[in-house]
Amino acid sequence: MSDAALHAENEAKHEDIAYPATIPFLLVHLACFAVLWTGVTWRAAALGVLLYGLRIFAIGAGYHRYFSHRAYATSRVFQFLLACLAQSSAQRGILWWAAHHRRHHRYSDMPQDVHSPVQRGFLYAHLGWIFVPRNDATDYSAVRDLAKFPELVWLDRHPFLPAVVLGFSSWLLAGWSGLVVGFCCSTVVLWHATFCINSLAHVLGRRRYVTGDHSRNNWLLALMTMGEGWHNNHHAYQASARQGFRWWEVDPTYYILRLLAGLGVVWDLHHPPQAVIKGEQRLGRLVIDKVAGQLAASFPVNQIAHQVQEALANAAGWAEMKARIAAIRSQAGMSWSELELPAVPSLEEVRRYASERLAKTRSLEEIAVQARERLLELICARLSESEAALVQPAV
């Protein structure tokens, strides 16, 4: 390997390691232990609870539902105030947050997802991705609707200013205990509650809707985050201001938005159609493609390919079958479903397999048909990798 290639490989290995960037994050965590020195006053404790509640609302209603998904409308003044309150949580700039979150939805639980526990593990999805150098920049092309406001761009370029102001104000209001308990402790709890939506909400909980990813509804996370834990609901209909689709799914962020709507502060709250809530709406083509691919890959492809290979090796028409596989691969108008291979699950078997593993959806038949085609394609790819077995069958 050349020196340049070796250097590139080493750079790739260390790309995700940015220790200096973690220092402020760790210092805020360590500052919480200063409570042993400052003690906990009632004023500081009340301040901590208040700041947690205000900022978890600002994260859900601001960073997420408004700036990332435009789930409701508001005035330019309230938009700026909401952005300032959200950024007081020290979760970087409003445009940075929205741009990365939109990318997350575009590639949810795929290799391009910036924080998927499925792809990079729990710890990386929870917080590691934040300190990766390639994730530092704000992709303004992903948030053109927001970048047209100069005050939001300015705020995004000074991401920690609101948090510094809030920390100083906490000290003025309640002394050192106010800074440590009221600001630092509430900020750390706030961080990890928010991070759990990226990590735990893709690992633990119930999947009511087919979304093509691992998003789940988790009632405990919903309580901790004022409604953000109804994550599978959200992935099923991202533009909704309401994430608790059922009456028993507590969503305080939505209740406050309803109150603000009654006061005229916000308006045009988006709601999920009944067809979505009941799981009766047909899925989009991209979701069907994604789910079909995941379903096909979940079959024991290598085992099935081996069984097909053995059956073809002992069959008189193996050469003709190989030629047909090559023709399907090279001709755009041909479908893998036209190929009849031994040992491959039938469409009915794939349909039953899908219904056992997926939530209720009107698109089950389309998913099953496409999943079988993808399965045939995967099996033929394995067969092609074993060229010698196709060219010279066992005797």
Task: Tell me whether residue 5 is in a domain.
Answer: no
Domain end among 273, 304, 320: 273
Summarize pLDDT for 57-72 with one digit per residue, the tens: 999 999 999 999 999 9
What are phi and psi for residue 194, nearest 5 degrees?
Answer: -65, -45
How many beta carbons lie within 10 A of that of residue 274, not counting itself? 9
Query: Do 110 and 196 reside in the same domain of the chain?
Result: yes
For the chain, the average pLDDT equals 87
* Top mean-pLDDT range of 108-117, 232-241, 375-384: 232-241
Query: Do 25 and 56 reside in the same domain of the chain?
Result: yes
Task: Tell me whether residue 134 is in a domain.
Answer: yes
Question: Using DSSP, how many helices (H) and how many strands (E) does the chain show?
Answer: 22, 2
Domain count, the chain: 2
∠ CA 70-76-81, nearest 5°, is 90
Task: Tell me whether residue 73 is in a domain.
Answer: yes
The predicted model gives 190-202 an average pLDDT of: 96
Task: Tell me whether residue 227 is in a domain.
Answer: yes
CA distance 156 to 378: 45
Task: Tell me whether residue 6 is in a domain.
Answer: no
The predicted model gives 28-48 an average pLDDT of: 96
The predicted model gives 311-321 an average pLDDT of: 62
Cβ-contact 361, 283 below 8 angstroms: yes
Which of 137-151, 162-176, 310-324, 369-383 is predicted with the least confidence, judged by mean pLDDT? 310-324
Query: Do 258 and 290 reside in the same domain of the chain?
Result: no
CA distance 95 to 67: 8
Task: Tell me whether residue 185 is in a domain.
Answer: yes
The predicted model gives 364-393 an average pLDDT of: 75
Query: Do 116 and 150 reside in the same domain of the chain?
Result: yes
CA distance 109 to 125: 10
Summarize pLDDT for 128-172 with one digit per residue, the tens: 899 888 898 999 999 999 999 999 999 999 999 999 999 999 999
Helix (H, G, I), strand (E, B) or coil at 230: strand
The predicted model gives 238-250 an average pLDDT of: 96
Domain end among 238, 273, 308: 273
The answer on pLDDT for 317 being more than 70 is no
Q: What is the pLDDT of residue 310?
A: 74
Q: What six digits make up the tokens of 10? A: 């080493």
Q: What is the pLDDT of residue 43?
A: 96
How many beta carbons lie within 10 A of that of residue 76, not counting itself? 10
Q: What is the pLDDT of residue 185?
A: 97
Confidence of residue 381 (pLDDT cuts 50, 70, 90): confident
Burial class (CB in 10 A: 0-12, 13-18, 19+), 347: middle
Domain end among 220, 249, 273: 273
Query: Do 54 and 93 reside in the same domain of the chain?
Result: yes
Query: Do 217 and 308 reside in the same domain of the chain?
Result: no
Confidence of residue 316 (pLDDT cuts 50, 70, 90): low
Summarize pLDDT for 335-361 with one digit per residue, the tens: 555 556 777 888 898 999 999 989 889
Query: Do 267 and 290 reside in the same domain of the chain?
Result: no
Share of the chain above pLDDT 90, in %: 66
- The DSSP string of 266-334 is EE------HHHHTT-SPPPHHHHHHHHHHHHHTS-HHHHHHHHHHHHHTSTTHHHHHHHHHHHHH-TT-
Query: Do 175 and 89 reside in the same domain of the chain?
Result: yes
How far, in Å, are 148, 332, 338 from residue 335 at the CA level?
Answer: 46, 8, 6
Burial class (CB in 10 A: 0-12, 13-18, 19+), 228: buried
Cβ-contact 183, 198 below 8 angstroms: no
Which of 160-164, 290-294, 325-329 is predicted with the least confidence, judged by mean pLDDT? 325-329
Cβ-contact 194, 24 below 8 angstroms: no
The answer on pLDDT for 245 being more than 70 is yes
Query: Do 216 and 361 reside in the same domain of the chain?
Result: no
Task: Tell me whether residue 9 is in a domain.
Answer: no
The predicted model gives 319-336 an average pLDDT of: 58
Q: What is the pLDDT of residue 320?
A: 62
Q: What is the pLDDT of residue 323?
A: 63
- Domain, as residue range, for 301: 285-391
CA distance 140 to 146: 9
| Dihedral of alpha carbons 212, 214, 219, 221, sign | negative
Query: Do 251 and 322 reside in the same domain of the chain?
Result: no
Confidence of residue 321 (pLDDT cuts 50, 70, 90): low
Helices 76-87 & 161-177, crossing angle to 10 degrees?
60
Query: Do 306 and 247 reside in the same domain of the chain?
Result: no
CA distance 248 to 226: 13
Confidence of residue 3 (pLDDT cuts 50, 70, 90): very low
Query: Do 112 and 41 reside in the same domain of the chain?
Result: yes
Task: Tell me whether residue 10 is in a domain.
Answer: no
